[in-house]
Amino acid sequence: MEFKIAVLGGDGIGPEVTAEAVRVLEAIGRKRGHTFQFSEAPVGGNAIDRYGMALPQETVRLAKQSDAVLFGAVGGPKWDDPRAKVRPEDGILGIRKALGLFANLRPVKVSPQLMEASPLKPSLLQGVDIVVVRELTGGLYFAKPKKRWETARGRRAVDTLRYTEQEVRRVMRVGFTLAQGRKNRVTSVDKANVLESSRLWREVAMETAKEFPGVVMDNMLVDTAAMQLVRSPARFDVIVTENMFGDILTDEAAVLVGSMGMLPSASLAGIPQAGQRAMGLYEPIHGTAPDIAGKGIANPLGAILSAALLLRYSLSLEAEARTIELAVDKVLADGYRSPDIARPGERTLQTREMADLVIGLL
């Protein structure tokens, strides 16, 4: 089969790790008889430098014409001025919104090989296998008013935390659907003891639970969830939460696997039916890591595992996705490490070398 993939590498280590994910896709394509047509487009800080905007129209158009988007990362100190009119982050936020990708899946699975890389005790990490479903196109990130202004009594700013019941329901359904193929448990995370939007969230979560009688749901306050994630992470199966809480909790969850460099994500407009294709955007959850950009030492596994999710969710190629995931597991089991997951004194491999090992196992 033939597929069109938009490649938006972005800034910092984004293009480096994305290039390795592309090579892995090409390799699996050769093995299984699929052709990928890759088209690159600018996004983020480099797009600001060249076009004065973080998300050129052309980039959105290319993405919309593609079967899926492979994304790197955006941002960097060069564009960090808080008073700047345009920001690299507008690139990723804008494309999530433009493509209607309201559900962000962030799987967090601790492999036995990497327990050493985590600051948590191995006893706590045993059996950790979580998917965080983060609402991605609503809440504080997008709702209006969102602005900053001057008054006689000083500067003011506002962001708005607004949700409609439809926005909550559709992302809850994604979480419940995923749970059905897993351990049948959903934890809906909110701040219902304080926030009105969270009280709506919780109400809709409980309504949605009735549609999925086989799935057990509990509600948890976000502060408790932050604590439980490091105290007993193995208790979770699927976590569903609003945009901002999800942003924060997924960085915390990344600590469980030892490095941000390992974690992939998929942004979708719902879970496709078996055998169906659906547009999605796939990105490692790590950032642009300006300190190591250009050195060829970034961990490409988060990007490579994102490519696996792309095969699974957008192209309905489950077997190919599994092959890549198993190859990554094997590389780690064989003791190969990029600097971010190595123990002191351990030999480390370059970005390209790590990807070559994965490719060699496909």
For ligand IPM, the binding residue among 53, 78, 86, 89 (CB under 6 A) is 89
For residues 238 and 133, the answer to whether their CB atoms sit within 8 Å is: yes
d(C-alpha 222, C-alpha 201), whole Å:
12
Closer residue to ligand IPM, CB minimum distance, 67 or 247? 247
Instruction: Provide the residue type at 165 as one letter.
Output: E
* Cβ neighbours for 13, distance < 8 A, ≥ 6 positions apart: 72, 73, 286, 288, 289, 292, 293, 298
With CB under 6 A as the contact rule, which of the stretches 89-97, 118-126, 227-235, 309-317 interacts with ligand IPM? 89-97
For residues 98 and 281, the answer to whether their CB atoms sit within 8 Å is: no
Instruction: Provide the residue type at 155 as one letter.
Output: R
Within 10 A of 121 (CB to CB), how many other CB atoms are there? 9
Closer residue to ligand IPM, CB minimum distance, 29 or 300? 300
Q: 85 catalytic, yes or no?
A: no
Catalytic residue among 78, 251, 329, 330: 251
Tokens of 203: 């109400």
Measure CA of the first residue to CA of the last residue in the chain; give whole Å.
18
Tokens of 92: 């990723």
Judged by CB under 5 A, how many residues of this single chain contact Mg ion?
1
Minimum Å distance from CB 239 to ligand IPM? 15
| Cβ-closest position to ligand IPM | 89
* DSSP-based three-state secondary structure for 232: coil
Q: Binding of ligand IPM at residue 247 (CB under 6 A)?
A: yes
To which residue do tokens 């919309």 refer?
64
d(C-alpha 237, C-alpha 213), whole Å:
16
For ligand IPM, the binding residue among 5, 92, 327, 341 (CB under 6 A) is 92
Closer residue to ligand IPM, CB minimum distance, 53 or 362? 53
Closer residue to ligand IPM, CB minimum distance, 40 or 89? 89
For residues 260 and 285, the answer to whether their CB atoms sit within 8 Å is: yes
Which residues in the 49-88 window bind ligand IPM by CB under 6 A?
Answer: 75
Binds 89, which of ligand IPM, Mg ion, none (CB < 5 to 8 A, cut-off by type)? ligand IPM
Binds 92, which of Mg ion, ligand IPM, none (CB < 5 to 8 A, cut-off by type)? ligand IPM
With CB under 5 A as the contact rule, which of the stretches 92-100, 168-176, 181-189, 246-254 interacts with Mg ion? 246-254
Q: 340 catalytic, yes or no?
A: no
Closer residue to ligand IPM, CB minimum distance, 92 or 204? 92
Q: Which residues pair with 39 in a beta bridge?
A: 6
Nearest to 86 by CA among 142, 27, 46, 136: 46
Minimum Å distance from CB 89 to ligand IPM? 4
Minimum Å distance from CB 182 to ligand IPM? 22
Minimum Å distance from CB 250 to Mg ion? 6
Closer residue to ligand IPM, CB minimum distance, 89 or 129? 89
Q: 144 catalytic, yes or no?
A: no
For residues 336 and 304, the answer to whether their CB atoms sit within 8 Å is: no
Nearest to 338 by CA among 328, 353, 324: 353
* Cβ neighbours for 177, distance < 8 A, ≥ 6 positions apart: 212, 271
Q: Strand order in 2-10's β-sheet?
A: 35-40, 2-10, 68-73, 280-284, 264-268, 103-109, 129-135, 238-241, 185-190, 216-221
Q: Binding of Mg ion at residue 242 (CB under 5 A)?
A: no
Q: 183 catalytic, yes or no?
A: no
Q: Binding of Mg ion at residue 320 (CB under 5 A)?
A: no
d(C-alpha 56, C-alpha 212), whole Å:
41
Which residues in the 94-113 window bind Mg ion by CB under 5 A?
Answer: none
Q: 251 catalytic, yes or no?
A: yes
For Mg ion, the binding residue among 20, 247, 320, 325 (CB under 5 A) is 247
| Cβ-closest position to Mg ion | 247
Note the residues at the interface with ligand IPM (CB under 6 A). 75, 89, 92-93, 247, 285
Q: Cite the active site residues.
A: 141, 191, 223, 247, 251
